[in-house]
Structure 1
Amino acid sequence: MTPHEFIKKWSNSKLKERAAAQEHFLDLCRLLNEPTPAEVDPSGEDYGFEVGATKTTGGRGFADVFKRDHFGWEYKGTHSNLDAAFAQLQRYAVALDNPPLLIVSDIGTTIRIHTNWTNSVSKKYVIPIVDLEDAEKRQWLKWAFSEPDLLRPKKTRQELTEEVAGEFAELAKSLRSRGHKPEEVAHFINRLVFCMFAEDVKLLPNGIFTKMIERALEEPEQFEDFARKLFVAMKSGGRIDFEKVAWFNGGLFDDDLVFALTKEELGIVHRAAVQYWGDIDPSILGTLFERGLDPDKRSQLGAHYTDRDKIMMIINPVIVEPLTAEWEAAKGNIARLLSRANLLQGNSERVRGRAGSIMQAQATKSKNDAQAILDKYLQRLADYRVLDPACGSGNFLYLALRALKDLEHRAQVEAEALGLPRRFPQIGPEVVKGIEINPYAAELARVSVWIGEIQWMLRNGFAASANPILKPLETIECRDALISIAGGGAVEADWPRVDAIIGNPPFLGGKIMRSELGDELIEQLFRLYRDRVPAEGDLVVYWLSKAAEAITSGQARRAGLVTTNSIRGGANRHVMDRIAEHIGFVSAWADEPWTVEGAAVRVSLVAFGSRLKDETPHLNGLPVEHINADLTGTAIDLTKAMRIKTNAATAFQGPVKVGSFEVSELQAREWLLGGYNPHGKPNSDVLRPWANGMDIARRPSHRWIIDFGDLSAEAASLYEKPFEHVRIHVRPVREANRDEQRRRNWWRLGRSGSDLKKATAPLSRIIITPRVSKHRIFVWAPGRLLPDSRLVAISRDDDTAFGILHSRFHELWSLRLGGWHGVGNDPQYTPSQGFETFPFPEGLTPDILAADYADDPRSIAIAKAAARLNELRESWLNPADLIRREPEVVPGFPDRILPVDEEAAAILKKRTLTNLYNERPAWLDNAHKALDAAVAAAYGWPADLSDDEVLARLFALNQERAAAQKGD
């Protein structure tokens, strides 16, 4: 069929919709040279007419035409209201699995294609039938049939949000520069944003806000008066000239705060106003609030914007999946009852008399029972409550509300398909509860939830609520979620009884909480949560603990929180251990990228609570039998590994400096050569080579450190120049330290490391490894070296111990029992978990002197392989033709390794252990395999065991030795 023939046949056709729709569509297929539904899918399930028609009632389907993953299509008669047709199609889109395109057309004048992608801005393609000779418009239709993605709007909702946020950051900066209070700037800008949204979704009439801005551009001095009148009208409803303004309120328009705007500032508002704000992500409110307070936050949308899919990784297992399972069970019962009712009804019409009446009564009862099941489920949804106890600007809450409304909508549509009548949606913002300490953020959360509600209603073909449009949300409280003040004292804050707890609590590491929150608040937290949360735990752990307690006490059913990924280890894991043992995880994502305050971080997402019958836990999106406290899914729960006495007092974290005690090699060398001090002792007494993690992973920096040990200030002062350096560079910092001991003993390191020094004093060399590094690397260091707190030192000087530690067996163990750190998610090594729990081969344990197992063939084999590995590595790091060795300026210290020239220095700069292990050349891999084979033989195990088998055997050894030492 040619375009001309189609137009001639159908333009302004008088045919009725029911009589003409299918023929109209088949003619379009012929026009576009597309196969018909019957040719593509004879079953009609994925492509057909009247998809979803109820077989029990014979009613209309969810769409006149449906093609899965392409479109739903609704026909109307010529000159019919296509807006009403679109709203009808929206209401049934969920039953069609939300196709990417919703198409409405009348028979004789117009075809409209509406895009329906979740995270793209909306777009509408209008095709008058008389224009079908236009090749571009025919191409739009062709794409709808065959390649709908080509019609997808290029701009995402996030990109739109970022654009307008950038514009308003300029406005915020300008207003702040004139001295306006940051909170008021943020509040005012969010009013402007909501007005734009309300205008574009037709809650404000006839483009009234944009017209107001355009009028103000002509006379900027009139803006204050214009805006004030609009805000007052929105507060309680009213009129502006001849335009009726609805009652909004909800807290956002409680007063008439307005700032005067310059013509340039009005230009910013106008450029934003002409965008389509109906698609704006509600997170824009939090973003603009943040930028109103700090206009320079431009790197990303910041803490208030979190990708929808990320949030749904919490909401789905906590809310959607259990409620969906309930609906599937209810729907099955409804279907059986209605099938029985239809059968009885049909039989009753063929049977006369009392028997027919009984069948009719039984049919009515079955239908009523089916309706009762639906009503019970819908009431369950209406009564369901969700709490975000750190709700910020409300992102989690508005997505939870949308999820609950989607569940209600799907249940209504699917029940209607089975033959039950449909009702208007009942669920509203009252189902979500929030706690937020910042009053402006709490206000934003309320408004964000209402924008989400309005968008959902309109997107699904329903009218928004009214009188007022923004109802006050008392369920979002402005208060502290952890501490309440009652009777003049601090008590633990209560959380309301709910079904689900979700959210993204604040991230503060245990070591910086005091400096960020202050001594008084920290002491209150420690006192109130003493028996439940370790003092070293991160701030997020308090929310985790309270959520767990809410579940065990029956105050909630499930919880899901975003936490720091360090939750899997260290002090943080005490709460995770309780959850794993007494509640159980239903879903977890162990290590995910996230954004906090515009910075990329790594997080763990955890969901826990009562498990449904036959429900399978999921870890990182995959089914597992169970989830351990360290967010692994292996059958062996290594979180139950115990410390072994034979490993005690061998591995140490380096001492904490708390001040600039380190000095350059030039400075140290000057002091070392400076002769004797007044008491006749050299500076070499208090100077030691020093290294941190970077010195190991990269090239040594050759720095030294001043270490007065436990000397008194008087004794330390006799080492004149080192003491003077500390007095100038360290004392001012230490005198401001909260720790009294560190203030008083300002010339000493923050932590002396006396246990480390005592253990390593007899040794000419020690083993060190970075606490955090991409690769688990062990190296030899001089015995006199003082490691930084970012290093772990092992007080062994034998190649056998070095080889066992650098083997695959110890690496696997330490990776699983350590934590993770930083954006790079590098593994962390700790003496308590990585070393003290590790079961060394029997007879080669750290409590045995190296001399006592020197003749053991196993020890000899490991030592040989370890020495060879170290020799090869050192030769690669410091080739003989590129370096020269010079004795240190005073005896007792290791030689210095220097490049022979500048060209050699440039080559050596790239020769780092990190680069070496990134490349892992064949010779290195072979050396490690030889070492691994020697260590495997020492255990009496095959060398080719799988990782899981290695861990299982090591865990069994750990448990065996831990049990044996209980009787010692």
Structure 2
Amino acid sequence: MNAVEIEEAVSQLVSQPFDPDEFPFAFLEAYGNKETTVKRLRKGNSNKSKMEGGVLQRNNIHIATCEPGAVADTLRQLQEAPETAKNKAKFVLATDGEELQAENLNSGETLACAYPDFHQHFTFFFELAGISTVKEIRESSFDIKATGRLNKLYMELLRANPDWATPERKQDMNHFMARLIFCFFAEDTNIFEGDNLFTGTVEQMSAPDASNMHEIIGELFRAMDVKAEEREAQGIRTWARKFPYVNGELFSGATDCPRFTKIARSYLLHVGRLDWQQINPDIFGSMIQAVADEDERGSLGMHYTSVPNILKVLNPLFLDELREQLEEAGDNPRKLLNLRKRIARIRVFDPACGSGNFLVIAYKQLREIEHEINRRRGEPDRPTEIPLTNFRGIEIKGFSAEIARLALIIAEYQCDVLYLGQQLALAEFLPLDAENWITCGNALRINWLTVCPPTGTGVELGGDDLFSTPLQQAQIDFENEGGETFICGNPPYLGSTWQSKEQKSDLKEIFAKYTKTWKSLDYVAGWFMKAAEYGTQTNAASAFVSTNSICQGQQVPILWPLIFKKKHEISFAHTSFKWANLASYNAGVTVVIVGISRQPNKVRRLFSFDEQNETIEKKAENINAYLVPASNIIVKKSSTVQDSRGIIEAGGKPVEGGNLLFDAEEARRIIDVDYRAIQFIKRVYGSSEFIKGDVRYCVWVSDENKSLASEIADFQDRFRAVAQKRLGSPKAATNRGAEWPHRFEEVKQLGDEQIIIMPKVSSESREFLPVGILPKGSIITDLAFGMFDAPLWNLALIASKLHLVWIATVCGQLETRIRYSNTLGWNTFPVPKLTTKNKEDLTRCAEDILLARERHFPATIADLYDPEKMPEDLRHAHERNDEVLERIYIGRRFKNDTERLEKLFELYTEMTAKKDRP
């Protein structure tokens, strides 16, 4: 269940008469427990509670109902009950139908409220529904409640007005909803004079059967677009004239409204009775988007970018520097004045602004700093000098662009109320400014200089391919010239596989003039390149959230040399972390944040996480394209290794059309028919066979045994089919393989080697690469790499965290899975010179890992390396291996992956320098 559905279920629960026997089960259903789960609890199969009226769900919650007045005592009993700890309950909850108390046993957070008010605190138990989210949105129950009510209204209107659900009229419906929300907000914040003016007028003037509802609302919308002195002439109805003139183009244009049913009328009145002054403009746009987006309707968190995550971009981009300057200014009036002037000229530009989250947060943060300046200067009531038009955006969806502008208007009003008071805020608010500084369009096709021109920067235009056409006039000139521009946002990621033809065309437009290899780039790379081009013409710095793949593997040598050629450097970065949101079914994508600038500070800032998931900030002289504190070096493929380690090769390429490979049942059938076949059948491994334990076999015939094998009838037929398959290929090399249909097209082994196997692709969720030893005589396909008859200490190197982070960084990923490479990952992996003692220690570590696996036979590699189920003895063997190896590198354990990569790149730089030395 998503947050909106939970809120609706909890509201329905508390609206019913309290039933002490039924409450625990109804509560669990409200938080998404399946009917079968609740049924087991009812029967007592899973109910281990020893308390009267108690229900205990393992790993979740211990609930008990009680007599009136006994809630506090009951909660204490739940906390102290041995079965609560034994069954690892995360929450305890007690209620008597009049009062409800609860505690989060992990965080110590508590809840106490009247039972009928429980629905106002439904977010307290989000964890029970698998919703892991940031504190800010969990506490914003109003926004979720409002989304649920709006969603019901929206869906009922679409049902009653199918013509408004068509693509042609969808924009009209979205615009209608935006107008409604403004009215709800305005009547609860005194923008409309009088209590409950909009909702009350609609309720009073509309018929109970809603037959004239659309006419009443339409007349109100028309009134708000006509100045007071013109209303009589325009024929505005008397009861609509008490509404203020709003302007701002919000109510201009068509005022026709969808027809209401009696149910839709009730929904609108329910929405209007909420307290809209609680609305959070940070997620205002996301809330509307959650209602309006057909694919993700009702899932507020799908669109929500949390404030802490936004600040991961904005703080190091420019806010931290402003706060430092404020600290240095102290109470010095002149320094404070200079800082205020600087802030008033700052432009924030989000070229993928969606519904405006980044712009709203940036505006609020700058207003907060400005207010502190005014307070220190003794001017607390001074109106703001920060114009909204300094916050520019580009958004491809028209409705989102409109909502972004409205969210900024509401943010400005709320800041005015906070810092200047209600009276001054109201005096400045209406009528709204009609200017629209949020551009609707494709950000990768628009010349950003036309949206956010470099006025007063002293930068000469021209001289760049991107700007060969004349500079167009921006939609709106800036109110103040000479400021800095900070570009930020969370653009769409989209790997090359998932891009549409139009999106690939967008990238071609940007990159084709620079490189022929642009097709493998993620879509987000277009924003980085556009920002670098824009930065050559302006005083700008940029930072975007991105999939981590643009800083890994094959995309690094394509994208980043182009960025560096534009004289941009990485000024700060956040290494990989999960960008999760509110939706319970969305685990979050792994992202990085990268800031680029032509004039970065001498000290660069690199943020990462330690083993306890605490944020670490590292100062560095340089951050390279792999987000490592090292020089701007690009790792290149190497055909050889530089030391005594083993050589890794890809397995043989079968190209046999299903004739040389088969399962165990087929192998038994072949042998039953002709027992001589047994000598030519061997166990074969690719990635799946090694990791999941799938059993497959292959025909393995050497050239000298071809005649003997061909005497077996089944093999004759198979060899004939293989030859036909290869002859039918358009590839000449495959055609030649028809001359040896008794073996793989490409043969890389004799067939009697001891093999260290490394799958080509494996899950990114594992903490260690799934390397292993195969039984002697095994065959590997080209879906795996193999090291033949090599010393066992090589396995210890491959199984280490050091090697995993190197592979993940320089080889990159296939979709989200780790992609292994011998030439790019193994041959380039920097290893210090190993002594005989080092190799003996590593051999012992490799043996311990293999022995630990054996103790859990027949568990597969997939079973053993499941992060949630990994056996402790196996984990300990790997930890010991990492400790031994890392002490070889630096004499101690590394603190985190950033430190591991820093050392590896230092060694790689030395290694390549020696190689290139004459």
Report the TM-score when normalising by structure 1: 0.60
SS at match of 1:511: helix
Give 1:876's aligned residue. 855
Give 1:794's aligned residue. 786
Structure 1 position 313, deviation (Å): 2.1
Tell me the distance in 2 between the aligned counterparts of 1:230 and 1:380.
42
Tell me the distance in 2 between the aligned counterparts of 1:967 and 1:466.
70
SS at match of 1:593: strand
Instruction: Please tell me whether residue 573 in structure 1 is matched to residue 563 in structure 2.
Output: no
- Give the one of 426, 431, 435 matched to 1:469: 431
Tell me the distance in 2 between the aligned counterparts of 1:161 and 1:474.
26
Flag the 1:706–1:429 CA change in 2: closer, same or farther, 3 A. farther
State whether residues 183 and 293 of structure 1, in contact with CA within 8 Å, keep that contact through their aligned partners in structure 2.
no
Structure 1 position 398, deviation (Å): 1.5
Give 1:197's aligned residue. 185
What's the RMSD between the two structures over aligned residues? 5.2
Tell me the distance in 1 between the aligned counterparts of 2:720 and 2:155.
50
- Give the one of 249, 252, 262 matched to 1:251: 249
Instruction: Please tell me whether residue 835 in structure 1 is matched to residue 826 in structure 2.
Output: yes
Give 1:433's aligned residue. 392
SS at match of 1:559: strand
Structure 1 position 236, deviation (Å): 3.1
Flag the 1:280–1:192 CA change in 2: closer, same or farther, 3 A. same
Instruction: Please tell me whether residue 700 in structure 1 is matched to residue 697 in structure 2.
Output: no
Deviation per CA, 1:717-760, whole angstroms, max 9, x where unpaired? Answer: 9759999xx9xxxx9xx9xxxxx99xx99xx9xxxx99985478
Matches within 5 A, 1:72-111: none
Tell me the distance in 1 between the aligned counterparts of 2:226 and 2:869.
68
Q: Which amino acid aligns with 2:640?
A: T
Flag the 1:448–1:945 CA change in 2: closer, same or farther, 3 A. closer
Flag the 1:425–1:925 CA change in 2: closer, same or farther, 3 A. closer
Tell me the distance in 2 between the aligned counterparts of 1:662 and 1:519.
39
Tell me the distance in 2 between the aligned counterparts of 1:507 and 1:301.
18
State whether residues 799 and 863 of structure 1, in contact with CA within 8 Å, keep that contact through their aligned partners in structure 2.
no
Tell me the distance in 2 between the aligned counterparts of 1:217 and 1:703.
74
Structure 1 position 331, deviation (Å): 5.5
Flag the 1:519–1:173 CA change in 2: closer, same or farther, 3 A. same
State whether residues 765 and 780 of structure 1, in contact with CA within 8 Å, keep that contact through their aligned partners in structure 2.
yes
Tell me the distance in 1 between the aligned counterparts of 2:491 and 2:510.
15
Flag the 1:722–1:876 CA change in 2: closer, same or farther, 3 A. farther
Flag the 1:646–1:326 CA change in 2: closer, same or farther, 3 A. same
- Give the one of 597, 604, 608 matched to 1:609: 597
Structure 1 position 795, deviation (Å): 3.8
- Give the one of 481, 486, 492 matched to 2:443: 481
Give 1:777's aligned residue. 770
- Give the one of 143, 147, 153 matched to 1:171: 153
- Give the one of 148, 162, 173 matched to 2:144: 162
Deviation per CA, 1:298-349, whole angstroms, max 9, x where unpaired? Answer: 444312x211222122222223223334445555653xxxxxxxxxxxxxxx
State whether residues 286 and 300 of structure 2, in contact with CA within 8 Å, keep that contact through their aligned partners in structure 1.
no
Deviation per CA, 1:242-269, whole angstroms, max 9, x where unpaired? Answer: 5432222333323213101111112222
Tell me the distance in 1 between the aligned counterparts of 2:556 and 2:797.
25
- Give the one of 489, 495, 512 matched to 1:509: 495
Give 1:588's aligned residue. 573
Matches within 5 A, 1:198-237: 198-206=186-194, 207-215=196-204, 216=206, 218-237=208-227
Flag the 1:516–1:788 CA change in 2: closer, same or farther, 3 A. farther
Structure 1 position 413, deviation (Å): 1.6
Structure 1 position 909, deviation (Å): 10
Tell me the distance in 2 between the aligned counterparts of 1:258 and 1:916.
53
Structure 1 position 541, deviation (Å): 1.8
State whether residues 552 and 626 of structure 2, in contact with CA within 8 Å, keep that contact through their aligned partners in structure 1.
no
State whether residues 798 and 804 of structure 2, in contact with CA within 8 Å, keep that contact through their aligned partners in structure 1.
no
SS at match of 1:625: strand
Flag the 1:536–1:638 CA change in 2: closer, same or farther, 3 A. same
Tell me the distance in 2 between the aligned counterparts of 1:374 and 1:541.
39
Tell me the distance in 1 between the aligned counterparts of 2:427 and 2:819.
53
Flag the 1:241–1:618 CA change in 2: closer, same or farther, 3 A. farther
Deviation per CA, 1:220-257, whole angstroms, max 9, x where unpaired? Answer: 01101101001111223456525432222333323213
State whether residues 566 and 572 of structure 1, in contact with CA within 8 Å, keep that contact through their aligned partners in structure 2.
yes
Instruction: Please tell me whether residue 379 in structure 1 is matched to residue 338 in structure 2.
Output: no
Structure 1 position 870, deviation (Å): 6.0
Structure 1 position 764, deviation (Å): 5.9
Tell me the distance in 1 between the aligned counterparts of 2:696 and 2:577.
36
Q: Which amino acid aligns with 1:558?
A: A
Give 1:285's aligned residue. 285
Deviation per CA, 1:759-798, whole angstroms, max 9, x where unpaired? Answer: 7878563511454333223113477655586xx5134332
Flag the 1:586–1:952 CA change in 2: closer, same or farther, 3 A. closer
Tell me the distance in 2 between the aligned counterparts of 1:447 and 1:258.
20
Instruction: Please tell me whether residue 448 in structure 1 is matched to residue 407 in structure 2.
Output: yes
> Which shows bigger deviation, 221-230 or 467-476?
467-476
Structure 1 position 664, deviation (Å): 8.4
Deviation per CA, 1:645-672, whole angstroms, max 9, x where unpaired? Answer: 4239835499899x99999836755885
Structure 1 position 500, deviation (Å): 0.7
Q: Which amino acid aligns with 2:367?
A: K
State whether residues 814 and 829 of structure 1, in contact with CA within 8 Å, keep that contact through their aligned partners in structure 2.
no
- Give the one of 598, 601, 624 matched to 2:618: 624
Tell me the distance in 1 between the aligned counterparts of 2:140 and 2:804.
41
State whether residues 808 and 932 of structure 1, in contact with CA within 8 Å, keep that contact through their aligned partners in structure 2.
no
Instruction: Please tell me whether residue 405 in structure 1 is matched to residue 403 in structure 2.
Output: no
Structure 1 position 865, deviation (Å): 2.9
Deviation per CA, 1:364-389, whole angstroms, max 9, x where unpaired? Answer: xxxxxx4xx66554333332211101
Tell me the distance in 1 between the aligned counterparts of 2:837 and 2:745.
30
Flag the 1:638–1:688 CA change in 2: closer, same or farther, 3 A. farther
Matches within 5 A, 1:669-748: 669=667, 689=684, 691-692=686-687, 696-697=690-691, 699-702=692-695
Q: Which amino acid aligns with 2:578?
A: P
The share of aligned pairs that are identical, in percent, is 20
Flag the 1:865–1:587 CA change in 2: closer, same or farther, 3 A. same
Flag the 1:758–1:806 CA change in 2: closer, same or farther, 3 A. closer
- Give the one of 513, 518, 539 matched to 2:523: 539
Instruction: Please tell me whether residue 919 in structure 1 is matched to residue 871 in structure 2.
Output: yes
State whether residues 543 and 596 of structure 2, in contact with CA within 8 Å, keep that contact through their aligned partners in structure 1.
yes
Flag the 1:189–1:537 CA change in 2: closer, same or farther, 3 A. same
State whether residues 689 and 705 of structure 1, in contact with CA within 8 Å, keep that contact through their aligned partners in structure 2.
yes
Structure 1 position 437, deviation (Å): 1.5
Give 2:127's aligned residue. none
Tell me the distance in 1 between the aligned counterparts of 2:814 and 2:799.
25
Matched residues, number: 690
SS at match of 1:617: strand
Report the TM-score when normalising by structure 2: 0.63
State whether residues 346 and 485 of structure 2, in contact with CA within 8 Å, keep that contact through their aligned partners in structure 1.
yes
Instruction: Please tell me whether residue 964 in structure 1 is matched to residue 914 in structure 2.
Output: yes
Q: Which amino acid aligns with 1:171?
A: L
Q: Which has the greater radius of gyration?
A: 1
Tell me the distance in 1 between the aligned counterparts of 2:318 and 2:882.
50
Structure 1 position 505, deviation (Å): 0.7
Give 1:647's aligned residue. 641
Give 2:545's aligned residue. 562
Gapped runs of 5+ residues in structure 2? 1-134, 449-464, 475-482, 609-614, 701-714
State whether residues 508 and 539 of structure 1, in contact with CA within 8 Å, keep that contact through their aligned partners in structure 2.
yes
State whether residues 812 and 951 of structure 1, in contact with CA within 8 Å, keep that contact through their aligned partners in structure 2.
no
- Give the one of 238, 241, 257 matched to 1:241: 238
Gapped runs of 5+ residues in structure 1? 1-152, 335-369, 708-715, 735-739, 845-855, 884-906
